[in-house]
Chain A
Amino acid sequence: MALTDAEVARYARQLLLPGMGEAAQEALRDARIRVTGGGLSVAPATYYLAAAGVGTLWFDDPDEVKPEAGAGFALGPDDLGRPRGAALAGFARWASGLVTADLFRPGSRPTALLVCGSSPDVSRAIADEARLLQLPHVVADVDGQGGAVTSVPVGSPCYSCATRPGLGGAPTADGGATVGSLAALELILLLTGASQEPRARRIEVFRGTPLVRATARQPGCACAGPVAAGLAP
């Protein structure tokens, strides 16, 4: 379905960006993103995905909002005690009146995942699930020096192949904002095809400086199996 007048007006400046256009904007509108995890990157990523015109955001985060909640500026005092996923859905709707935002429910069929786990182990488990479901996904990791964003198109080297130990340290809000916004952009590029560059890559941010590298499959990794070859059901 063609963009409505309201959508053209809302996304006019974005529609003029390199690689963007009506088809790319429609792809965003048709996307259904499962947003998992409650790390510091989830709020900025949510904001940018909603503002960019992603049609549906489903939040998969059953934890309650606590005073030390890792969702940054998105959640306020009124959200304390609420399920964090529901609070983030409300934040997404605040960011854009054109987005459908709700809790992720069994049976929902996302077209891609954004993983904002609170630790690499949590992220790895969710990323593996996405890989087995053959869904493109982007993983945002925040650490004490910044963090990293890993883009995993279907069939490409998996998150585990791409990951290398970070510098550790307690995640910071600054790192969450940087990594979250980069993760949203990487997912938008995956969904729209707005870039001709290979998208299987990892962006590591160290004190504000990004380093981009293509990811490579590690020998013997399970991601080289039938799922990568498109043979799995």
Chain B
Amino acid sequence: MSARVPSARLDIRAHTCPVTWVKARIALSRIAEGEVLEVLLRDGEPRENVPRSAEEDGHRVIRLEPAPEEGEGTWRVWLARGAPVEERTWP
């Protein structure tokens, strides 16, 4: 587990796909490479999809755990911003 401290925090428990990942992606774009974003999300689809999408986008999941102290069904994920993956482009 990383000893790093999140430099930003995002609560997306009120949102559904695809807004959950879009908001996380925007928040990641606002921190520096290597910094950590803490995301609070709901169990189920957000817990499955947000970490997976982050990894597909070149970021790293360094913590994924229940966060009952934040509310029933809440999970916490720490995402370390990675180097942007090579951008696909339009023709």
Contact = CB atoms under 8 A, between A and B. Distances in A.
Is chain B a partner of chain A in the same complex? yes
Interface string A40-54: 000000000000000
Contacts, number: 43
A114 B48 CA distance: 42
A90 interface: no
Bin the interface of chain B by size: 10 to 19
A169 interface: no
A194 B89 CA distance: 7
Nearest to B27: A22
Given A194-B90, A195-B90, A197-B91, A3 B21 contact: no
A18 to B, nearest CB: 4
B90 A8 contact: no
Contact of B19 (A12, A18, A22, A196): A12
B87 interface: yes
Contacts of A225: none
B37 to A, nearest CB: 14
Interface string B7-32: 00000000100110111011001000
Given A189-B90, A197-B89, A9 B26 contact: no
13 contacts: A8-B22, A8-B26, A9-B19, A12-B19, A15-B25, A18-B90, A21-B25, A21-B26, A22-B26, A195-B89, A195-B91, A197-B90, A197-B91
Interface of A: 3, 8-9, 12-13, 15-16, 18-19, 21-22, 189, 194-197, 212
A-B pairs with lowest CB-CB distance, top 8: A18-B88, A195-B90, A12-B22, A196-B89, A12-B18, A12-B19, A15-B22, A22-B26
